[in-house]
Amino acid sequence: MDKYLIKMPVKSKANEVVKQEKAVVKKETPKMSAKQTKKDTPKELKDKENAGEDSTPKQRKAGRPGRPATKRKNLDTPEQKDEKITAETENPPKRRSARQTRSTRSMAEDGSPSPEKKKPEKLPFIKYTGAIKYYTENQDIAASADEVLQWVEKQTDEVVPMAFDMEWPFSFQTGPGKSAVIQICVDEKCCYIYQLTNLKKLPAVLVALINHPKVRLHGVNIKSDFRKLARDFPEVSAEPLIEKCVDLGVWCNEVCETGGRWSLERLTNFIAKKSQDKSKKVRMSKWHVIPLDENQLMYAAIDVYIGQVIYRELERREKAKLKNEGEFKEKNGDAAFKAVKALGETFLTKINEVTL
């Protein structure tokens, strides 16, 4: 059996060491030596110079940036660490408030006003404590209008101002309804409210009252009210009323030298320094339904009451303005007056001296 056995060669340690050294040390092939000894062409050298490459042996291949060198951290000494800790404890870093910026902090310290937009001033609501005379029938409306007409004729003034306003129902499906309420005020202590639902025609005495030569009807956007009244009640002619009426918004622009279109609410804020409760629920209510409730009556009365108040105030301002302008012209001449007017002076207050 021994002759069929093949003896395997025994590996010695010396042979293993020699093979490991052979594996580590590689012979340079002709191709490898050619790669290492290959010289750059002039074009490649020029490209390297333009790219700012360094031809040191540590240079990496083009297009692969090397890893940036890590900076060595500055290690503080124990003394420096103690100084930093004491400084932070004595003067802790201040957190900046999200609500208070540097500018508002400095302004708060100085006591100057904040640059933020000022909130609108809250004005007190109008309180009407006068009488409200409310009528719904034809004969009652005629008797009340005759009473007011007699009072107008007794007045010694050439002009008797009368606040005038109207109300009517409105629907988004059918649009505005027929004129339902007329309210007037000739004295701040009493307002008259005439509901026209049961009337097919306006009483002749009411038409005579609003067309009286001494009566000066006034209101905000009053011309459109007269046109609607003439459409709903043909016995009323709108043009004579439009010619002699006074639109308080237009008059305010003339006296106070303001601009734009005014609503009664804004005019109340500007002239009377009061606020109106313009509730949409009342304003868009059913004005043709009899009887009107307390909120509707108060709403209608306040509209003409505050109109009379605004008229009286604008009348007072106009008289003061004309007086101040006359005194200024007499003292300084027309040239100085024109120059001061060009600068935006309204003469609502008296000017004693002027320097041009």
Is residue 32 over pLDDT 90? Answer: no
Candidates 3.30.420.10, 3.30.365.10, 3.30.2090.10, 3.10.110.10; correct CATH number of 131-318?
A: 3.30.420.10
Measured distance CA(232)–CA(238) in Å, rounded: 11
Residue 263: CB partners within 8 Å, gap ≥ 6? 220, 249
Measured distance CA(183)–CA(173) in Å, rounded: 27
Which of 26-30, 104-108, 275-279, 321-325 is predicted with the least confidence, judged by mean pLDDT? Answer: 104-108
Q: What is the pTM of this model?
A: 0.66
The phi, psi pair for 85, rounded to 5°, reads -65, -45
- Tell me: the pLDDT tens digits for 171-219? 888 889 999 999 999 999 999 999 999 999 999 999 999 999 999 999 9
- Tell me: the pLDDT tens digits for 325-341? 999 999 999 998 889 88
The dihedral through the CA atoms of 302, 303, 308, 310 has a sign that is positive
Spatial contact of 269 and 262, defined as CB atoms under 8 Å apart? no
- 336 class by beta-carbon count within 10 Å (0-12 exposed, 13-18 middle, 19+ buried): middle
pLDDT (average), residues 219-229 = 96
Which of 161-170, 235-244, 339-348 is predicted with the least confidence, judged by mean pLDDT? Answer: 339-348
Highest mean pLDDT pick, 7-21, 217-231, 337-351: 217-231
